[in-house]
Copies of this chain bind each other. A is one copy, B any other.
Amino acid sequence: MSPAPLRVAVLGASGYAGGELVRLLTAHPGIEIALLGGDASAGRSLGEVHPHLAHLPVGGRVLEAIPMDAGADRVDLAFLALPHGAAADRAPAMLDAGTRVIDLSGDHRLPAALYPEWYGFAQESAWLDKAVYGLPELFADAIVGATLVANPGCFPTPVVLGLAPLLSAGLIGGGPIVVDGKTGVSGAGRTATDTVTFAATDESVRPYRAPRHQHTPEMEHALKLATGVDVTVSFVPHLVPAVRGVLVTCSAPLVSDATTEALTDALTAAYASAPFVRVLPPGEMADTKRTRGSNGVELQAFADPRAGRAVVIGAIDNLVKGAAGQAIQNMNLMAGFDETAGLPTTAVYP
């Protein structure tokens, strides 16, 4: 007899991350979708807000107004795919009611003191200190037992995965590390704005929100957590004409005579048993397209000894490993499923 399925809620189901959670969860063998919640979209069916999901059994389900307790009587675990700020407001009541929470927003990723400066609000929840940073390749032990997981941001995910082993191994220094990010426009969310129209985006490469993007302190904080090393990051994100995909190019001080091979070996060793991470051999180049639709990560590192820099490049699908897929990977750890359950490792290419 198979165990009872884990009952999950997707709260904020109408956005891109919410839709991707449902797409992936419907292929998961151990869960049932017990609740779909939305704010502005409450009362509409899933198929109406995501026509590509209309044919699924869950397609006719109507989104409910988000219950204060996340539906604690019928839900074991809730995914919060809510806007920044809203998650901080809503999570405590859910957690107090006994529901485990995976928060896809930025509301539980940083020390409280950093919220006013980087997010524009004070985050005073008593639960903040109990949140576990949900990067499974680095913090699996803590995630397993966590009640509240802060799902990482799309840019920090490949940055922290790429830099942490090299910082720990003493192959690179802590700063300043220059991080250049490129993202497809789905990272800006689903709302139609002048910035994300096809006419504005096609044939356009644009920086945005630099140097004050809120993922900057998240990179610094998570790297400190993972390695103990103090790091300063200068981060410039860019929009490129793609729907999905994040590629980060990190330039860090190269310690003495570390070689491309040494950098690559350190990454390879760190992720030898990580099912989603692929470290590319020297000379091969990362490509976001090879992660599209999957939870995979490509990492690449090389030395630039002329300039005394190490370059580390990471590529992911921002909606999967950068959001919904990673959230499910965290759920798998928390609930005792296989870490890869329900998660594609192979891209839909080309």
Residues of A within 8 A of B (CB): 16, 19, 23, 26, 50-56, 175-176, 178, 180, 182, 184-186, 190, 192-194, 196-208, 210-211, 216, 232-234, 236, 238, 240-245, 247, 249, 251, 278, 285-290, 292-293, 296, 300, 302-304, 306-309, 311, 313, 315, 345-350
Query: Is the CB–CB distance between A350 and B200 below 8 Å?
Result: yes
Query: Is the CB–CB distance between B349 and A19 below 8 Å?
Result: yes
| Top 4 A-B pairs, shortest CB-CB distance | A234-B307, A204-B289, A199-B350, A211-B304
Query: Is the CB–CB distance between B234 and A249 below 8 Å?
Result: no
**Known contacts A16-B350, A190-B199, A302-B211: A241-B238 contact under CB 8 Å:** no
**Of the candidates B182, B193, B286, B292, which one forms a contact with A192 in the assembled complex, judged by CB atoms under 8 Å apart?**
B193
Query: Is the CB–CB distance between A311 and B249 below 8 Å?
Result: no
**Of the candidates B52, B288, B311, B346, which one forms a contact with A236 in the assembled complex, judged by CB atoms under 8 Å apart?**
B311
A238 to chain B: which residues have CB within 8 Å?
182, 247, 249
A55 to chain B: which residues have CB within 8 Å?
278, 296, 345-346
In whole angstroms, how far apart are the Cα atoms of A184 and B50 in the complex?
23
Query: Is the CB–CB distance between A243 and B202 below 8 Å?
Result: yes
Nearest chain B CB to A169's CB is how many angstroms away? Answer: 20
